[in-house]
Amino acid sequence: MSFDLALAASIEPIFILVALVAVAVLAFEIVMIINAIHNENISATAKTWWVVGMFLVHPFVAFAYYFTDYSKRRDGSVKV
């Protein structure tokens, strides 16, 4: 089995793109975890479930948190 350098060179940009997207998703998830920990508008139980969910299911729960609790907190629609 021989290694084809032309094939490797054509695939490399795809790996770079995938790596950049993965780093961006990881950074987004970290920001959402930190935000959930510091969010005073949700109960301690909800906070715990959001953080545990973000660790277990990763970006899916982070996106759900963003669209449910994070966006409410940023636009000021949640009144205490």
Instruction: Name the pLDDT band for 1 (thresholds 50, 70, 90).
Output: low
pLDDT value at position 20? 93
38-51, pLDDT tens digit by residue? 988 889 999 999 99
pLDDT value at position 12? 78
CA distance 41 to 34: 14
- Two tokens, residue 67: 């669209």
CA distance 61 to 7: 37
State phi, psi for 79 to the nearest 5 degrees.
Answer: -110, 135
CA distance 78 to 60: 23
9-38, pLDDT tens digit by residue? 667 778 889 889 999 999 999 999 999 999
